A and B are shown apart, each in its own frame.
Chain A
Amino acid sequence: MVFDVSTDSRNEVQSDWGSMEQRMAQRLRRIFGHSLNIRHIDVGSCNACESEVLSLSNPYYNFHRLGLFFTASPRHADVLLVTGAMTHAMEDVLLTTYTAMPQPRLVVATGVCAIHGGLFRESPEFAGPVDTTIPVDAYIPGCPPTPYAIINGILQAVDRRKGKKPC
């Protein structure tokens, strides 16, 4: 049996949103040459931010509709999504991950711990905010930030990147 899309009333309702989302995916492809691939790194998080980041790919938030994807290697990534309060042990790892990424590359600091340190700022194991080690393109506040805010931050970093030379 051939599935006929035109007879599906749901698709008619969604076609407007669907076309806008496709345009966003095309815009990302124009800026980066392909869909946006995200590498997530945890530099000392309590896993609340991880819970929100993982829900980006669930059926409700479904960030693949915008042309955003997770990737397993920083070599394939355009965006480094950093969560957690950076510990001394992870400082070098973060720097190595950043240098392993191809240019142009974007860094998004997700959550209060990555931006400021949050409750762990006074801890002797805290090495400093993420922007003291690598340049950050977008800051997403929240403890933890909502998935909406994470999508907003990633798109904002891409908008900032638009029209610039490779860094």
Chain B
Amino acid sequence: MLADWLRSGLSSRRVTTTYPYGKEANPIHRNWRTVPVIVSACKSTMPCRCGDFCPTQAITCPDGFAVQIDVGSCIGCGRCVNLCPQVFAWSGDVTVAASGRRRLISVADGGEMARGI
């Protein structure tokens, strides 16, 4: 891991990241666990208790089934990804900032987080 990083860093000639422009010389952040996202809708036929194992209640099911996650209150503990991997997955996305509080809440349809940029 570290050897790969050193090799790519030395061979890319540029130490400083090029973010937010273009291709990264060391795309190391793809493997980062920044925020969990909802990859597919919850298939549970009965109201599940996924909100109970979230330590900050970031995961809620407002009408019983449609699960949504508020990354503004998610501390990234990873319990949801471990317990329910068919619904939650780690995202390496770093463009997670939003201009409004409600834009941080992502739902199952589309699975995409609302982004400002």
Partner of A115, one of B16, B32, B72, B117: B72
Which residues of A139-167 are within 8 A (CB) of B? 139-143, 145-146, 148-149, 151-153, 155-157, 159-160
Interface flag for B6 (CB, 8 Å): no
Q: Give the contact stretch, choosing among B19-27, B60-68, B80-88.
A: B19-27
Q: Give the contact stretch, choosing among A35-43, A56-64, A94-102.
A: A56-64
What chain B residues lie within 8 Å of A118 (beta carbons)?
56, 73, 75
Interface flag for A121 (CB, 8 Å): yes
The secondary-structure label for the interface of chain B is loop
What chain B residues lie within 8 Å of A136 (beta carbons)?
101
Interface flag for A119 (CB, 8 Å): yes
Interface flag for A116 (CB, 8 Å): yes
In the complex the two chains form, is A160's CB within 8 Å of B99's CB? yes
What chain A residues lie within 8 Å of B29 (beta carbons)?
146, 148
In Å, the complex CA distance between A100 and B65 comes to 47
Contact-residue size bin, chain B (C-beta under 8 Å from the other chain): 35 or more
In the complex the two chains form, is A62's CB within 8 Å of B99's CB? no
Interface flag for B15 (CB, 8 Å): yes
In the complex the two chains form, is A62's CB within 8 Å of B17's CB? yes
In the complex the two chains form, is A139's CB within 8 Å of B72's CB? yes
| Chain A: interface residue total (CB-CB under 8 A) | 39
In the complex the two chains form, is A119's CB within 8 Å of B99's CB? no
Could you mark each residue 23-43 of chain B with 1 if its beta carbon is under 8 Å from any beta carbon of chain A, else 0? 000000100101100000000
> What is the chain A residue whose CB lies nearest that of B92?
A146
> What is the chain B residue whose CB lies nearest that of A121?
B56
In the complex the two chains form, is B96's CB within 8 Å of A141's CB? yes
Interface flag for B100 (CB, 8 Å): yes
In the complex the two chains form, is B56's CB within 8 Å of A112's CB? yes
CB distance from A42 to the nearest CB of B (A): 18
In Å, the complex CA distance between A160 and B112 comes to 21
Interface flag for A5 (CB, 8 Å): no
A13-B13, A118-B56, A142-B76 known; A155+B99 contact, CB < 8 A: no
* Interface-central residue, B34, B55, B70, B103, by most chain A CB under 10 Å: B34
What chain A residues lie within 8 Å of B116 (beta carbons)?
138, 156, 159-160
Could you mark each residue 43-75 of chain A with 1 if its beta carbon is under 8 Å from any beta carbon of chain B, else 0? 000000000000000011110010000000000
In the complex the two chains form, is B56's CB within 8 Å of A119's CB? yes
Interface flag for B74 (CB, 8 Å): yes
Since A17-B21, A112-B73, A141-B74 are in contact, a sample of 10 more A-B pairs with Cβ atoms closer than 8 Å, ordered by chain A residue number, is A20-B22, A61-B19, A115-B101, A121-B73, A136-B101, A139-B97, A139-B103, A145-B97, A146-B94, A153-B97
